[in-house]
Amino acid sequence: MPYLDYVAGSPVDDRVVEEMMKYFSHPGNPSSVHSLGLEARNVVEEARNKVSGLINADSSEIVFTSGATEANNLAIIGYAMRNRRKGNHIVVSAIEHISVINSAKFLMKNGFEVDYAPVDRFGKVRLDELESLLRDDTILVSVQHANPEIGTVQEIREIREVVKAALHVDATASLGKIEVDVEKMGADMVTISSNDIYGPRGVGALYLRKGVRVNPIILGGGQESGMRGGTENVPGIAGFGKAAEITKKEWRKESERLKEMRDRLIDGLLEIEETFLNGHPEDRLPNNASVRFSYIEGESILLSMDMEGIQASTGSACTSKTLQPSHVLMAIGLKHEEAHGSVVFSLGRWSRMEDVNYVLEKLPPIIERLRMMSPLYMKKKSGGD
């Protein structure tokens, strides 16, 4: 049945699993100097080359982590702590991933000043307002390449031209969907994740441009050039490398396929009365269809769809434990009741047009049934104020 929650988690490609299986029983530690250790080290470095090749970086600029959250923490906290003598002011966009938002809050508790760059109603960073926030003591700016919840893609090169401080870009959602080229971006640090390109969970990476210095946040034996302590996850890293190799060959053609399904899904959803698109209508991820249904709550929609075998999301899975409305949707100017009625459909490698058609068949009756139970909708339908 249709799985349309790739933004929360993606299946691992069988070709990646096959690559990883070679190393689950391999005993070698990449830090050991004997032959088995050297074999493990070669696996890690080969994967590093593949990951760096996907984003047009040098392999020496890749630091493997346990995922995008850790990479974001390393970038935000690690850079701020290392460069504190240069200044104590950082700026993050108002729609960043919660791991960036919470890293910024941590820094505030430790004496840093943080400003949040506002976005317009489509989720685009307002360049003039971003520029007005920059100060002489601004040392770091963090802006997502694309937002996984509303799909909006930022113009990173334009932001780079405004920002003279270090620039961190969270490219977790965009990797494998649109071009991620660190040289074209001009970013100093870029976060990426394995599972978002159909690799294993629990593996990610931070691109650190040569010359950029950060303090490690996980201390250990000096692995990953001293940037991340702990024995490397050899099978996971090997899987990440294989996923990067596959993605580099296939992403352009795959993105066109996803875009066709996305457009069909959005067009069909917007035919439902009182349904609206979240995010930018054009500058958006090719696999993202984020919409809001007036007068009803997203959780009720999800439960009803799940009974029909359809999986989707109301927003970021990383913030689903809170009952508060999405900070992303609030930042683009939605009211609480509008934010609570939002649903995110995200497509992926195993999505088919039949899945889209199935959703468009099953969802309208669900929306109609839920609205008939909504006092707000019945009041509106009866012409009440």
CA distance 301 to 312: 9
CA distance 91 to 139: 9
Q: At a CB cut-off of 8 Å and minimum separation 6, what does 13 contact?
A: 198, 199, 242, 243, 246, 349
The DSSP-derived string for 48-111 is HHHHHHHTT--GGGEEEESSHHHHHHIIIIIHHHHTGGG-SEEEEETT--HHHHHHHHHHHHTT
Q: At a CB cut-off of 8 Å and minimum separation 6, what does 19 contact?
A: 238, 239, 241, 242
Give me the catalytic one of 17, 81, 98, 318: 318
CA-atom Rg of the chain in angstroms = 22
The answer to whether residue 318 is catalytic is: yes
Kindly state the DSSP code that residue 31 receives in the 8-state scheme.
Answer: T
Nearest 10 degrees: CA dihedral of 306, 312, 199, 279? 180
The DSSP-derived string for 238-274 is HHHHHHHHHHHHHHHHHHHHHHHHHHHHHHHHTTSTT
Side-chain half-sphere CA neighbours of 313 within 13 A: 25
322 residue type, one letter = T
Taking CA atoms, 107 is separated from 55, 66, 77, 110, 190, in Å, by 29, 21, 7, 5, 19
Residues with catalytic roles: 318
